[in-house]
Amino acid sequence: MHPYLLGLRLGGRRVVVVGGGAVASRRVPALLDAGADIDLISPAVTASLEDLAAGGRIRWAKRGYASGDCAGAWLVCACADDAAVNAAVAAEAEDRHIWYVRADDAGASAAWTPASGAAGDVRIGVLTGDPRRSAAIRDAILRSSSLAVGRHRDKDRDKDRDKDRDIDRDEHRDEHRGKDRDEHRDDDRAGSVAIVGGGPGDPGLITVRGRELLAEADVVVTDRLAPRTLLDELPADVEIIDAAKIPYGRGMAQEHINEALITRAQEGKFVVRLKGGDPFVFGRGAEEVLACLGAGIPVTVVPGVTSSTGVPTAAGLPVTHRGVSQDFHVVSVHVPPGDERSTVDWKALAGGNGTLVLLMAVERIASVADALISYGRGPGTPVSVIADGTLPTQRTIISTLENVAGLVMKEGIRPPAIVVVGDVVSVGAEIAELTRGDPVTPEISWRQKG
């Protein structure tokens, strides 16, 4: 029997996910994007899921499945590595008349997860008996939908010229994708690696080239800050390696990441290293390129939208503004000012008038503010902290150098977050005031969708 296609509106509704491995890592971000209230049940989870739990995005019951866990759920996802556990979860959900998905046995599932995607406000879902065929059809539909959206938005474009260009573009894309498949999937050729910048978090901000290569992947090695909802669009047979690095917590060592890229490529596979932001901006992408090239593995590098400018822009905060700031400086604060490992000239930064964009600074914001003030920046200098930039949970606070550390603690701001120091913050506040319709003053906090 053919399935009855239905779109579930999960906003605020309880979803139970049993299992904390690679499949759950793919499903949970997409469920969060749908607004689901998630209970994750598993003795152990991947680093990215642990990070979501630590940030309060999901609830994690650190134990095995127990009878009764499905009670009150609207949807249950059985993603455990043990088929017997998945069967028990499915049986309970069936008895309670709750829709459930078994990741290990589509034939035993009450519901199926389609190959899905979005083009603007259009969502696409495709179901076939073959996950790769579903994904290929989905991608073809999305390409057509994107072109249709583009034509709709530009009504004055000459229709004949547009048609010719679309045909040329499609032919070029098909030829190009054909070359990708020949290059990456031919068993007679060596594998290769693509280092892809995924942008600051919103899956819509990955480049077209990056998304095309992701669709070709046999293996994806992903970061904590990469657009993880894109993983749920991949066919089930794509291997996902979670290389998430939790601040002050667990993470995959860089040498092990390099080894995974090299060994999978040596097996003849096309490996995509999906990273947050731009891979060459505090992303250790160059280290991975050097490791692969040193092992004789061909590498493609795809730039991404760096969070250092993408996140402030998404929050309506310009890092430069005529008459206010003619320069900006991007600084990694993985070690605090005064630390012998730091190579940052904080005195020079404090003495100028340029905008400071600080990455990895939330945990060390007090020492940063003290250093800047001690070297001459005014205590009343505006500061903005933007957490979860470009994501639905994006949140912005505005303060001053002398008060920002206290406000960060009071508001419970945690990484990932971008800190912007300088008078451009006042420009951003003016933009927010005109957008929101109410005055924006220091010592405030608001939530906003990226």
pLDDT at residue 73 is higher than 50: yes
* The pair of three-digit structure tokens given for residue 387, joined into one six-digit string: 């957490």
Catalytic residue, candidates 245, 269, 278, 388: 245
Bridge partners (DSSP) listed for residue 396: 386, 446
> 237: helix, coil or strand?
coil
Instruction: Tell the CATH topology of 158-305.
Output: Cobalt-precorrin-4 Transmethylase; domain 1 (3.40.1010)
Average pLDDT, the chain: 86
The pLDDT tens digits of the residues spanning 192-217 come to 999 999 999 998 899 989 998 998 99
* The pair of three-digit structure tokens given for residue 330, joined into one six-digit string: 């991007």
The confidence band for 94, taking pLDDT boundaries of 50, 70 and 90, is: very high
Whether 223 is catalytic is: yes
pLDDT at residue 332 is higher than 50: yes
Pairing of strands 382-387, 395-400: antiparallel
Cα angle 270-261-52, degrees, rounded to a multiple of 5: 100
116 vs 287, more confident? 287
Do 214 and 117 contact (CB within 8 A), yes or no? no
- C-alpha 65 chain-centroid distance: 28
218 vs 146, more confident? 218
Do 71 and 46 contact (CB within 8 A), yes or no? no
The pLDDT tens digits of the residues spanning 116-167 come to 877 767 788 888 877 778 888 887 887 775 544 444 444 444 444 444 444 3
Dihedral, 219, 223, 225, 226 alpha carbons, nearest 10 = -20
> What percent of the chain stands above pLDDT 90?
61
- The domain covering 14-113 belongs, at the CATH homologous superfamily level, to NAD(P)-binding Rossmann-like Domain (3.40.50.720)
The confidence band for 260, taking pLDDT boundaries of 50, 70 and 90, is: very high
* Average pLDDT over every residue of 383-394: 92
Name which of 69-78, 181-190, 295-304 the model is least confident about. Answer: 181-190
* Average pLDDT over every residue of 172-179: 44
Catalytic residue, candidates 104, 202, 218, 223: 223
Whether 410 is catalytic is: no
Written as one string, the DSSP assignment of 31-85 is: HHHTT-EEEEE-SS--HHHHHHHHTTSSEEE-S---TTTTTT-SEEEE--S-HHH
Can you give the residue ranges of every domain in the chain?
Answer: 14-113, 158-305, 308-447
Do 220 and 244 contact (CB within 8 A), yes or no? no
CATH architecture of 308-447: 2-Layer Sandwich (3.30)
pLDDT at residue 441 is higher than 80: no
Q: Rounded to whole angstroms, how far apart are CA atoms 138 and 120? A: 15
Do 265 and 191 contact (CB within 8 A), yes or no? yes
pLDDT at residue 249 is higher than 80: no
The reply to whether omega before 416 is within 30° of 0 (cis) is yes
Q: Rounded to whole angstroms, how far apart are CA atoms 236 and 104? A: 10
Using the structure block, give the residue that is written with the tokens 């920046």. Answer: 377
- Indicate the pTM of the whole model: 0.74
